[in-house]
Amino acid sequence: MKKLSILLFVFFFLLAACAPQGPAEQAMKAPATLTVMTHDSFAASEEVIAAFEQAQNVKVTFLASGDTGAALNKAILSKEAPLADVFYGVDNTFLSRALEAGIFEPYPSPALASIPAEFQLDPSNSLLPVDYGDVCINYDKAYFAERGLPVPHSLEDLLNPELNGLLVVENPATSSPGLAFLLATVAHFGDPGYLDFWADLRDNGLVVVGDWETAYYTNFSASSGHGAQPMVVSYGSSPPAEVIFAETELEDAPTASVIGPDTCFRQIEFVGVLKGARNRALAEKFVDFMLGQQFQEDMPLQMFVFPVNPQAQLPEAFVKFAQIPSQPARLDPAVIAANREQWIAAWTETVVR
Amino acid sequence: MNERSPTTPVVGAPKSPVIGTPKSGDFGVRHGYHSSRLLSWLPPLAFLGFFFFYPLARILVTTLDPAVLTPDNFHITLSALRFTFYQAALSTLLTLLLGLPAAWLFARFDFPGKSLLRALTAVPFMLPTVVVAAGFNALLGPRGLISFLFPLSSFQFSNSLTAILTAHVFYNTTIVIRIVGNALAQRDLRLEQAARSLGADGARVWLHVILPGLRPSLLAAGTLVFLFDFTSFGVILLLGGAAFATLEVETYIQALHMLNLPLAGLLSAVQLACTLALSALYTRAAARTRVQANPRAVFESARLPRRRSEKLFVAGLVALLALFLVLPMLALPLRSISRLEAARGERSRVQYALTGDYYRELFVNRRGSLFYVPPIRAAVNSLGYAGLTVALSLLLGFPAASALARPGRLERWLDPFLMLPLGASAVTLGLGFILTFNRPLFPQNGSLNTDHWNLLASPWLVPLAHTIVALPFVIRTLQPALASIPDRLRDAAASLGASPVRVWLAVDGPIVWRASLSAGTFAFTVSLGEFGATALLARPEYPTIPVAIYRFLSQPGGLNYGQAMAMATLLMALATLGILLIERLRIPQAGEF
């Protein structure tokens, strides 16, 4: 009994010894450290980050902090003693709220010169655009072709009785693409016109789920989950991702996006230097780096977003399979911030209650 | 001194106490009893105080805002509260309905494959919700097995209350099996035999002998299941769709999607108050049903089914458990080795082929990503965190549970508070952690890098957070077992000349050992499957398996889906092995007294 319990404890302490060690050793050696707080969809190539580290003689640590809302909350709550120097991942739906919180330092990066004005939504330059992506309806090409169904080209087309029960969307209260699609309808139909549209959509057999993972992998018919709906609210970059992450090589993407006017909502993601950053100069260098060509060209295959820097070349799969809408829906971030809660509440009343 | 009635009556049979001879008051009280009791409270209270109550209080005070008390917000809170209670009560009832016969099955009968099935029933408890949703979908979804077998059934599974209830039963049956099963396994068969020989029929034996003896463990299991369902988050969000919101889901929406922290604070305060009230009710009920009996060894009560009805019962229940708890899980390993035909986009009829690609691909950092995780490292991280959680929660839970097993006034006060970690919204607590621990614990002056003293930036925070969640389980598992140890056995041993150490080893030891294994299993699974806190607190360099699964599932593509399934299979294998290993540690001579 005693022996066994000792064994048990030895076992546990061995396990404990296997547990990850703190970053203490590296911290002692490295000449300088830079901490970047991000949402958990952030990704980058090892060699790209290593290039920055070598050039600036710095060790970059990334602090992934949940989804965009969680990460932003984390940054706001820790503003007295910031956990990081740089924050990446504020999108245009959260932009005004993030600026109101006053956690960012203005930084008019010289790299902004090559970024189109349409992406620069913050005149104070506290938050600088890094990437964009369009939230669009993806459809199952084979499903539509086999049944001879009309592919929709506008939001109104979705009300076609032939498409009854074929669209799955995410709840805008719990999902960021869900919110983006709601915003597209607000931009197109206005307030309160969007509610009539949603009521009609509900009557046309709309399916609502909680999050993108469920919508895409459980409900969408063209994903590996082969669900029941051939249309899903996803991203314009999902079709190339289907090709890149196919089980076996695909000639063509199994899905495509509906890119008619106002059917997609453009999400823009921003980076900013946090107030009280321990290493302000390096933080600014990192912001420059994120806007520069090397990082911008790395983003598409890592995060499946589009570079804001027009000099950046898109990878082949993106050129072939990603469709960029010519007229995405847009809303002023300040208007979004002011109405977000009310729009979501009214949507919930109309669609699910 | 004599606070409790010495003749704690057996509920259900108040006139003829069948179990538990009158206990001679607090006869065995020694000097220094109270100070040692305080001492045993110190570690768990200090831990919870610093890592739970303090951050929670800070975030609640920070978000406190009288402006939040509007009729609209009251409406949101009330409707969430109503639904939360409704689904939790229904789920608990259903869980007990499946869990009690299952507990009886494992405690009473031996059958081939018993230990494997027993271990498998604990695996659902730690599966991330996304994985469970995928499993159920493969089985019950629009193109799942059921609709394949019965093409005409227009069975709508996800986005329904049925889905929520099914998932809750799937997750929590193991709680009943383990806690009630433990009590059943060590009950004194002689009591039943005595009752039968006195002419009681089966129903009477159940009603007056077995059930009263099970009351403490039933209460403990029921409370845990209810609280778990009460604070349910992932299941509601992923399987319930948009129409259902519990307090926890509403808190998450308000805090992270509306950035409305005051309302989130109000919602989590309501949830905490409900948890506290429920726990207080439990404590009162538990105090009235304390039962001491002669615990017996497991091998004494478990045997092969003999009669026809017994064989039917065993076969039927094993089939039901396999169907309900194991089959949805089996869908994942199957999916992880099967591939859709190449030209997936060009045909709607799906064709499968076998493949090992997904597993092979796990070991390749195809895109040179900075955050690529080799599966072995994710497994080592997960196991390391789980091992630490087991050790820490047993170390902290044991003294608390032994004090609670012999409750005095202090214990009855403290008891409900120990359950609060189950009722705290993970989002709120996470934000509290950020508010509280975002500066170095030991500030160093000068230019020395103080990063590694910053708890929030440290990987140690994850096992600490897991321990907070695991602690109520550990305490509730240990407590009924410890309370069942009869004082008179101890007294007898002592009067026969055994030293206190020997008394503990001979009397308490075997019972404690058995309960510790169950408690350890809970802590292990809680930690292994935990995602929410890990995602918020872990550093990307030290991802766990659930974190890796989510990373794969957050991007489209068949390869990502397949790799997520492969990772999930890995997680299930690891959990099954871990649980089997822990249960192997049962000492053979347990109960030899």
A286-330 pLDDT, tens digit each: 999 999 999 999 999 999 999 999 999 999 888 888 888 999 999
> Are the beta carbons of B431 and A247 separated by less than 8 Å?
no
Residue from A3, A77, A103 whose CB has the most chain B CBs within 10 Å, to mutate: A77
Q: Determine the Cα–Cα distance for residues A180 and A172; give it in Å rounded to an integer.
A: 8
Is the predicted ipTM greater than 0.85, yes or no?
A: no
β-strand partners of B352: B340
Just give the CATH number of B43-342+350-438+453-584.
1.10.3720.10
When CB atoms are compared, the residue of B143, B347, B384 closest to A227 is B143
User: Which residue blocks in B109-210 are alpha helix, DSSP H?
Assistant: 114-122, 129-140, 145-149, 161-185, 189-197, 202-205
The total of other beta-carbon atoms located within 10 Å of residue A200's CB is 13
What are the backbone angles phi and psi of residue B36, rounded to the nearest 5°?
-70, -30
Name residues whose C-beta falls within 8 Å of residue B522's C-beta, 6 or more positions apart in sequence: B125, B175, B178, B470, B473, B474, B477
Distances (CA, A) of A214 to A97, B23, B167, B333: 28, 57, 15, 19
Taken in order A55, A56, A60, A66, the sign of the CA dihedral is negative
Nearest C-alpha of chain B: how many angstroms from A42? 9
> Are the beta carbons of A217 and B535 separated by less than 8 Å?
no
When CB atoms are compared, the residue of B62, B133, B452 closest to A27 is B452
Residue A268: the pLDDT is 95
Interface of A with B in 42-71 (CB under 8 A): 42-47, 49, 61-67, 69-70
Residue of A nearest to B337 (CA): A247
Residue B292: the pLDDT is 57
Interface of A with B in 198-237 (CB under 8 A): 207-214, 216-219, 221-228, 234-235
Q: At B397, which amino acid appears?
A: G
Nearest C-alpha of chain A: how many angstroms from B561? 7
Q: Determine the Cα–Cα distance for residues A193 and A174; give it in Å rounded to an integer.
A: 23
Nearest C-alpha of chain B: how many angstroms from A69? 4
Distances (CA, A) of B285 to B11, B225, B282: 11, 16, 5
Virtual torsion, Cα A53, A55, A57, A63, nearest 10 deg: -20
Residue A252: the pLDDT is 83
Find how far residue B529's CA is from the centre of its chain: 11
What are the backbone angles phi and psi of residue B214, rounded to the nearest 5°?
-90, -15
> Are the beta carbons of B456 and A83 separated by less than 8 Å?
yes
> Are the beta carbons of A62 and B371 separated by less than 8 Å?
yes
Q: Are the C-beta atoms of B398 and B477 separated by less than 8 Å? A: no
Q: Assess whether the previous peptide bond of A152 is cis (omega < 30° from 0).
A: no
Domain boundaries, chain A: 22-132+267-314, 133-266+321-351
> Are the beta carbons of A246 and B558 separated by less than 8 Å?
yes
Q: Are the C-beta atoms of A205 and A166 separated by less than 8 Å? A: yes
When CB atoms are compared, the residue of B242, B456, B561 closest to A217 is B561
User: Which residue blocks in B240-307 are alpha helix, DSSP H?
Assistant: 247-252, 261-288, 298-301
Q: Determine the Cα–Cα distance for residues B425 and B256; give it in Å rounded to an integer.
A: 13
| Strand A265-274, strand A128-140: pairing | antiparallel
Q: Determine the Cα–Cα distance for residues A136 and A256; give it in Å rounded to an integer.
A: 9
Return the ∠ at Cα B440 (arms to B436 and B445), rounded to 5°: 140
When CB atoms are compared, the residue of B137, B505, B560 closest to A218 is B137
> Are the beta carbons of B242 and A47 separated by less than 8 Å?
no
What are the backbone angles phi and psi of residue B78, rounded to the nearest 5°?
-65, -45
Interface of A with B in 263-322 (CB under 8 A): 301-302, 304
Nearest C-alpha of chain B: how many angstroms from A218? 7
- Provide, as residue numbers in chain B, all residues whose Cβ is less than 8 Å from the Cβ of A142: 345-348
When CB atoms are compared, the residue of A140, A245, A248 closest to B342 is A248
Residue of A nearest to B257 (CA): A69
β-strand partners of A128: A271
β-strand partners of B517: none
Residue B530: the pLDDT is 79
* Positions of chain A with pLDDT lower than 70, given as ranges: 1-31, 353
Residue of B nearest to A234 (CA): B556
When CB atoms are compared, the residue of B350, B435, B452 closest to A24 is B452
> Are the beta carbons of A69 and B256 separated by less than 8 Å?
yes
Picking from B214, B216, B195, the residue whose alpha carbon sits closest to that of residue B204 is B195
Nearest C-alpha of chain A: how many angstroms from B551? 8
Average predicted confidence (pLDDT) for chain A: 87
Residue of B nearest to A216 (CA): B556
Nearest C-alpha of chain B: how many angstroms from A343? 11
Q: Determine the Cα–Cα distance for residues B276 and B417; give it in Å rounded to an integer.
A: 7
Residue B147: the pLDDT is 63
Q: Determine the Cα–Cα distance for residues A34 and A26; give it in Å rounded to an integer.
A: 13
For tokens 């179990």, the residue is: B19
Same CATH topology for A22-132+267-314 and A133-266+321-351?
yes
Nearest C-alpha of chain B: how many angstroms from A181? 15
SS3 track for B345-360: HHCCCCCEEECCHHHH
> Are the beta carbons of B348 and A18 separated by less than 8 Å?
no
Nearest C-alpha of chain A: how many angstroms from B409? 32
Distances (CA, A) of B257 to A349, B32, B171, B249: 17, 53, 27, 11
Residue of B nearest to A7 (CA): B585
Residue from A67, A208, A218 whose CB has the most chain B CBs within 10 Å, to mutate: A218
Nearest C-alpha of chain B: how many angstroms from A33? 9
Q: Determine the Cα–Cα distance for residues B580 and B115; give it in Å rounded to an integer.
A: 7
The total of other beta-carbon atoms located within 10 Å of residue A259's CB is 18
Residue from A224, A249, A257, A299 whose CB has the most chain B CBs within 10 Å, to mutate: A224
For A183, half-sphere exposure in the C-beta direction (CA atoms, 13 angstrom radius) is: 32
Picking from B548, B531, B574, the residue whose alpha carbon sits closest to that of residue B361 is B548
- Cβ-in-10-Å burial (0-12, 13-18, 19+) of B424 comes to buried
Q: Determine the Cα–Cα distance for residues B125 and B584; give it in Å rounded to an integer.
A: 20
Domain boundaries, chain B: 43-342+350-438+453-584
Residue A150: the pLDDT is 93
Residue from B555, B559, B563, B577 whose CB has the most chain A CBs within 10 Å, to mutate: B555
Quote the crossing angle between the two packed helices B129-140 and B545-553, to the nearest 10°: 60
Q: Give chain B's count of helices (H) and strands (E).
A: 28, 2
Residue from A29, A85, A147, A248 whose CB has the most chain B CBs within 10 Å, to mutate: A248
A173 interfacial to chain B (CB closer than 8 Å): yes
Residue of A nearest to B238 (CA): A210
Q: Are the C-beta atoms of B484 and B521 separated by less than 8 Å? A: no
The CATH superfamily of A133-266+321-351 is Periplasmic binding protein-like II (3.40.190.10)
Nearest C-alpha of chain A: how many angstroms from B142? 6
- Provide, as residue numbers in chain B, all residues whose Cβ is less than 8 Å from the Cβ of A5: 513
What are the backbone angles phi and psi of residue A137, rounded to the nearest 5°?
-80, 125
For B315-332, give the DSSP string: HHHHHHHIIIIIHHHHHH
For tokens 């007990």, the residue is: B96
Just give the CATH number of A22-132+267-314.
3.40.190.10
* Positions of chain B with pLDDT lower than 70, given as ranges: 1-35, 141-158, 287-301, 340-353, 367-368, 439-457, 538-540, 585-593
> Are the beta carbons of B449 and A65 separated by less than 8 Å?
no
Distances (CA, A) of B291 to A263, B277, B303, B409: 66, 24, 25, 19
Buried b or exposed e, range A217-231, using 16+ CB within 10 angstroms: bbbbbbbbbbbbbbb
Interface of A with B in 138-157 (CB under 8 A): 140-143, 146
> Are the beta carbons of A340 and B559 separated by less than 8 Å?
no
Q: Are the C-beta atoms of B458 and B313 separated by less than 8 Å? A: no
